[in-house]
Structure formats: C-alpha cells, structure tokens
Amino acid sequence: MWRQGPLSLAYLTVNGADPLQHIAAAAEAGYEFAGLRILPPRHLADAPAVVGNASLVRSIKRACSESGVALLDAEVVSIVPTTSRAELQAVVEVAAELGFSFIQTVVEDTDQRRAADRLAELADLAGAAQMKIALEFMRFRAVTDLQLAMQLIARADRPNIQVLVDALHLARSGGSAEQVAKLAPERIGVAQLCDAPAESPPIELLAQEARTARLYPGDGGLPLSELLDALPDGLPLSVEVPNAAYESLSHAERARRAIHATRELCRRRVGER
C-alpha cells in the first residue's frame, strides 16, 4: 500500500515548457523530481530534442544542481520496427549523463519477438549505466494493456525492466487496481497520477484525452485511492495532468495546482482510513 513517496513533475503537465522552464517549475512548486522529454514522441518527431544538444545538457545539469530537483524518467524511447542500437545508445548516453533513474519507453511494433529483442537491448544499455526501463502501456499503442506489458517484460527477461502504471491508461485499457496489486512490487517502477471522468471516450479519442484532457487528481471519477492501495509504498508518483484548458496558466502555476491536488488526495485518503 502506497503511503508516501517522492512526487515528480511529468512533462505533459507543463506541456510546452523547455527543460529549464520545466525544472524551474518543479522547484518552485516543491517537487523532488522531474521527468523531462529528452526525445520527442514519434507524433511530434520535429520537436526540439535534448539528445544531440550538448550545450542544453550542460545547462540542465547546472539547473538541477542549483535547484535541487533530481531527474526521474527520461521521455521517450519509441520502439518501432526500424529502431537501431545506435538510436538507443544515443538516448541512454544522454540520460545517463543527466542522472535519470528511468528511461520511459513505449512500443509501437506489433511483432512481439522483435519488440522484446529491442527492449532487452535497451535494458542492457541502460543497465550498464545503472538505469532502469519504465515500460508504459496505452490502449492506442501496440502494448495496449497491463497484461501485454507484463508479457513483453517477461519475454525481454531483463531485471531492470519495470512497468509504468498510468492511472488513465490503466482505466481506459480495462485494467484495475486489483490487477496491479497482484504484481510483484519489484516489477513496478513508476506510477503516473491524474484523474478523468469515469466513463471512457470512444477509442479514437483516447490519445486526445491522454494528451489534452486529463484532470487534477481528485477532480474526476477514476479509482485513485484503490490504485494507491495497490501500489508499493515509496514508489515514485509522476503527476501527469495535461489539459488544454490549463494552458493559459504559467508553467509554475500548472505545476503548483497539480501537486496541491495530489497532496490533497493523499491527505483525504489517510483521513478516510
């Protein structure tokens, strides 16, 4: 049962922030960690990247040192049929230099054997740098749910691959807190927390909801208390709350509102026990 653990500011909560603005917002709002986007996802392939920008890497290291904010998960490695070792190595080298704990990974390859091989290769590279892999499942990706994620992790067979449990993706894929509770604690690396209406939108709108319509924890109908009961104590919680309606707010204000809602949810949960 999760009682307390470090809180991390996910990139999408401050969507549009550059890494230095992201770190500053995390520090101002009181997060211990931040999860930076160092490589854009494939649907935003032309967006700026940290990988390949040595000057920005130095600036990020300095910002973390000065602010006291540590880096949790590096977004995002998308495993596709053409993923190469050189591409994986480039991300791992930057993530290691910046001191991330995890490399966040999604799979967009429907060939499970090939995807498992690439995932294992990434895990070996990351493990040599004392990092772990956080594999995220999404209904609109090749790894659609928790069961498939755990099957792929077993197939890749590397001890430093763990699952990332996102509250929204768990609910929208038909998963439950009961399923999470049955996992060995060491198989769970990170949890991402947000809220949303209990009723799911149509499948064709799930990606849009995940990227632009999440709610602060406690403002929706997801069973977040049950999920927290199922998670290991001390697990890092990444607060991921992108919402187009919040984008007029400053990065720091979005970060503050997200952490306040998360702390209030946790406070109420303790009070109810």
pLDDT at 270: 67
Q: What is the pTM of this model?
A: 0.95
Q: What is the DSSP string of 208-262?
A: HHHHHB-B-TTSS-S-HHHHHHHSPTT--EEE---BGGGTTS-HHHHHHHHHHHH
- pLDDT tens readout for residues 123-158: 999 999 999 999 999 999 999 999 999 999 999 999
Mean pLDDT value across residues 160-166: 98
Mean pLDDT value across residues 70-75: 98
Sheet of 102-107: strands edge to edge?
Answer: 70-71, 33-34, 7-9, 237-239, 188-193, 161-166, 132-136, 102-107, 73-79
| Domain locations along the chain | 7-271
- pLDDT tens readout for residues 186-239: 999 999 999 999 999 999 999 999 999 999 999 999 999 999 999 999 999 999
- pLDDT tens readout for residues 229-273: 999 999 999 999 999 999 999 999 999 999 999 999 998 886 665
- pLDDT tens readout for residues 20-58: 999 999 999 999 999 999 998 878 877 788 999 999 999
Mean pLDDT value across residues 173-190: 98
Question: Domain 7-271 classified CATH 3.20.20.150?
Answer: yes
Mean pLDDT value across residues 165-192: 98
